[in-house]
């Protein structure tokens, strides 16, 4: 045991013994209750001295002169034969606490084993720091080594590893400043989303992850089955016989909770979903994942304008929340990852979004002096290059495009009187492109059924969806925000794989 440690233990014992004398005095007086009270205080004080304090809490209100215990992972270690400085991080904040060690007071082998990446507990006194870069430091009395990190093999030795390399060590990348910041912000955003909707009287609705319907009518879904893949039962016409499968029908992982969300909204009023969604699309882009999280509010009695107002207010609320609550992490990302980050976040909250129709956007794009990789024309879907031109070069702020051709949008969107367009809205963001896709929903039974037939979808798959239009239908609207695209925007990370802990993309499901 370290000698300071022995002193600490001796102090504690003498403290208890002193009070013990009080107990005996008290007992003579017959006040048993008081003795028990003293005993509890002793234990309480001991626990306080020994209890771990998180570094975030320690730095926010440092009690100079107090004894503290911190636990965390060593970021750097430097010094000479007399004194060692350790930068310790416990994940609670991007900021480290400096540990000062008088080398002669500790066993040589212990100090040798404490290298970058090692996990330690430190008890010591909180003192003012005269060094640069910090106001306080901990003068170590006792160090406990939980886990070594062999300097020969620990992958996070030096700074400046590439993002690609970090993805290969996703189990360790949390320990870097960048990913610590990203995942703390991700948490804060998830919390803010629930807070925003709760404060507005929305209900969080859990829609199914395994589904029997394909919301978009697109063939981009992952099958869910318990069938033996080496022996798949077939019907006479060679199609798969799903009757023997677990659910007795074809099932998939959901691509969106919207259809079920609508069912909730048409009774609860305002609901939102926030869950994982899955798309087996083979898009190897910096904005697509095969598994991503989506927030989908759905509101009864909202028209498209109400829908746009909500989307704009919601996005601005989240950015403001991040600016107010994730200052240290955002400043770090602004300095290290993207020098325009804070400027861009502030610009979005301080400007109203442009709202134009798809048709107007096509006019702007066709008259722009630009060479496009993908052609522009009325009826064609917009590509990221077009979306980003509108936002980053033409308007220089977020843009909401509405009234898209019905051919390029889903069956459930409300049809306009022109017979050509639907009440869709896509919110386009700088650096991202589409961040939200939404619409006013078709609430008229006949129009919805016609559209299902026109698009050659299976009417019987949507019987329950159609019934909500048959019984007490109501105008309603909603949208989907891709959570990771939002985190990309807020953190300035350029690849979506770096804002989800364990990304799933084509040919990649490690960890």
Distance CA(257)–CA(275), nearest Å, equals: 8
H helix or E strand, kind and range, residue 44: helix 32-50
Task: Count the site residues for ligand ATP by CB under 6 A.
Answer: 13
Least distance (Å) from ligand ATP to the CB of residue 138? 42
Q: Which of residues 157-216 bind ligand ATP (CB under 6 A)?
A: none
Strand ranges of the sheet holding 291-300, from the earlier edge strand across to the other edge: 203-204, 270-278, 291-300, 476-482, 433-440, 421-429, 399-405, 354-357
Kindly tell me the sign of the dihedral angle through the C-alpha atoms of 182, 188, 189, 191: positive
Beta-bridged to residue 119, according to DSSP, are 73, 147
Stretch 247-286: interaction string toward ligand ATP, x if CB under 6 A = --------------------------------x-------
Helices 177-199 and 304-325, axial angle in degrees (round to 10): 130
The only residue of 334, 485, 497, 503 in contact with ligand ATP, by rule CB under 6 A: 485
Distance CA(211)–CA(461), nearest Å, equals: 11
Q: Which of residues 431-460 bind ligand ATP (CB under 6 A)?
A: 434-437
H helix or E strand, kind and range, residue 26: helix 3-29
The only residue of 482, 488, 491, 497 in contact with ligand ATP, by rule CB under 6 A: 482
| Burial class of residue 122 (count of CB atoms within 10 Å of its CB; 0-12, 13-18, 19+) | buried
Least distance (Å) from ligand ATP to the CB of residue 183? 17
Distance CA(187)–CA(474), nearest Å, equals: 35
Least distance (Å) from ligand ATP to the CB of residue 117? 32
Distance CA(187)–CA(133), nearest Å, equals: 27
* Choice between 53 and 436, CB closer to ligand ATP: 436
* Choice between 77 and 386, CB closer to ligand ATP: 386
Least distance (Å) from ligand ATP to the CB of residue 479? 8
* Choice between 8 and 401, CB closer to ligand ATP: 401
* Choice between 118 and 265, CB closer to ligand ATP: 265
Q: What is the CA radius of gyration of the chain?
A: 30
Helix ranges, 248-340 (H): 258-268, 304-325, 327-336
* Choice between 124 and 437, CB closer to ligand ATP: 437
Distance CA(229)–CA(143), nearest Å, equals: 55
Q: Which of residues 293-312 bind ligand ATP (CB under 6 A)?
A: 294
The only residue of 292, 302, 358, 489 in contact with ligand ATP, by rule CB under 6 A: 292
Report the residue count for the chain: 511
Distance CA(390)–CA(431), nearest Å, equals: 11
Return the beta strands (E) in 205-323 as ranges.
210-211, 223-224, 251-253, 270-278, 291-300
Distance CA(465)–CA(340), nearest Å, equals: 45
Q: Which of residues 381-400 bind ligand ATP (CB under 6 A)?
A: none
Least distance (Å) from ligand ATP to the CB of residue 436? 5
Among 8, 57, 500, 89, smallest CA distance to 289 is for: 500
Q: Which residue has the tokens 């990221």?
A: 384
* Choice between 26 and 434, CB closer to ligand ATP: 434
* Choice between 180 and 478, CB closer to ligand ATP: 478
404: contact with ligand ATP by CB under 6 A: no
Report how many helices (DSSP H) and strands (DSSP E) the chain contains, helices first.
Answer: 15, 16
Least distance (Å) from ligand ATP to the CB of residue 88? 36
List Cα–Cα distances, 180 to 98, 172, 416, 478, in angstroms: 18, 11, 47, 33
Least distance (Å) from ligand ATP to the CB of residue 277? 8
Contact 105, 142 (CB under 8 A): no
Least distance (Å) from ligand ATP to the CB of residue 369? 25
Q: Which of residues 53-82 bind ligand ATP (CB under 6 A)?
A: none
* Choice between 67 and 281, CB closer to ligand ATP: 281
The only residue of 62, 117, 398, 480 in contact with ligand ATP, by rule CB under 6 A: 480
Contact 218, 212 (CB under 8 A): no
DSSP SS3 for 168: helix
Least distance (Å) from ligand ATP to the CB of residue 434? 4
* 149's tokens: 């990190």
Segment lying near ligand ATP (by CB under 6 A), choices 85-93, 117-125, 141-149, 479-487? 479-487
Least distance (Å) from ligand ATP to the CB of residue 292? 4
Least distance (Å) from ligand ATP to the CB of residue 275? 12
The only residue of 289, 341, 361, 493 in contact with ligand ATP, by rule CB under 6 A: 289
Least distance (Å) from ligand ATP to the CB of residue 409? 9
The only residue of 77, 123, 167, 288 in contact with ligand ATP, by rule CB under 6 A: 288
Residues near ligand ATP (CB under 6 A) are 279, 288-289, 292, 294, 434-437, 480, 482, 484-485
């Amino acid at each position: 045991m370290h000698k300071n440690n022995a002193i600490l233990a001796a102090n504690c014992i003498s403290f208890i013994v002193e009070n013990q004398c009080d107990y005996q005095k008290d007992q003579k007086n017959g006040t048993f209750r008081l003795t028990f009270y003293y005993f509890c205080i002793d234990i309480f004080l001991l626990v306080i001295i020994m209890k771990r304090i998180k570094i975030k809490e320690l730095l926010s209100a440092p009690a100079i002169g107090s004894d503290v215990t911190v636990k965390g992972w060593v970021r750097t270690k430097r010094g000479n034969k007399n004194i060692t400085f350790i930068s310790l991080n416990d994940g609670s904040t991007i900021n480290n606490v400096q540990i000062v060690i008088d080398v002669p007071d500790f066993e040589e082998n212990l100090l040798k084993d404490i290298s970058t990446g090692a996990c330690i507990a430190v008890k010591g006194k909180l003192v003012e720091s005269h060094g640069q870069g910090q106001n306080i430091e901990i003068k170590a009395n006792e160090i406990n080594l939980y886990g070594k990190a062999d300097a020969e093999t620990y992958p996070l030795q030096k700074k400046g590893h590439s993002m690609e390399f970090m993805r290969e060590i996703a189990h360790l990348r949390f320990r870097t400043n960048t990913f610590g910041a990203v995942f703390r912000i991700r948490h804060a955003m998830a919390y803010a989303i629930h807070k925003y909707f709760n404060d507005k009287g929305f209900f969080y609705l859990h829609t199914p992850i395994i589904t029997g319907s394909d919301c978009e009518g697109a063939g981009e879904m992952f099958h869910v089955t318990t069938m033996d893949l080496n022996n798949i039962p077939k019907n006479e016409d060679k199609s798969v016989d799903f009757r023997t499968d677990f659910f007795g029908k074809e099932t998939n992982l959901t691509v969106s909770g919207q259809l079920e969300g609508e069912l909730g909204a048409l009774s609860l009023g305002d609901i939102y979903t926030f869950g994982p969604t899955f798309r087996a699309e083979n898009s190897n882009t910096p904005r697509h994942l095969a598994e991503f999280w989506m927030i989908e509010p759905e509101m009864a009695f909202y028209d498209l304008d109400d829908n746009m107002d909500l989307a704009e207010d919601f996005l601005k609320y989240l950015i403001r929340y991040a600016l107010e609550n994730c200052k240290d992490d955002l400043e770090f990302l602004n300095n290290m990852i993207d020098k325009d980050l804070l400027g861009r976040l502030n610009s979005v909250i301080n400007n109203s979004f442009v709202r134009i129709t798809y048709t107007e956007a096509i006019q702007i794009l066709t008259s722009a002096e630009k060479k496009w990789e993908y052609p522009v024309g009325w009826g064609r879907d917009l590509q990221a290059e077009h979306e980003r031109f509108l936002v980053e070069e033409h308007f220089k702020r977020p843009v909401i495009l509405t009234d898209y051709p019905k051919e390029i949008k889903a069956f459930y969107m409300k049809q306009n009187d022109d017979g050509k367009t639907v009440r869709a809205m896509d919110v386009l963001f700088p650096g991202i492109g589409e961040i939200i896709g939404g619409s006013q929903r078709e609430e008229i039974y006949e129009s919805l059924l016609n559209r299902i037939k026109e698009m050659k979808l299976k009417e019987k798959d949507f019987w329950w969806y159609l019934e909500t239009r048959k019984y007490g239908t109501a105008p309603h609207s909603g949208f989907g925000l891709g959570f990771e695209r939002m985190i990309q925007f807020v953190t300035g990370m350029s690849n979506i794989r770096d804002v989800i802990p364990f990304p799933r993309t084509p040919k990649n499901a490690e960890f």
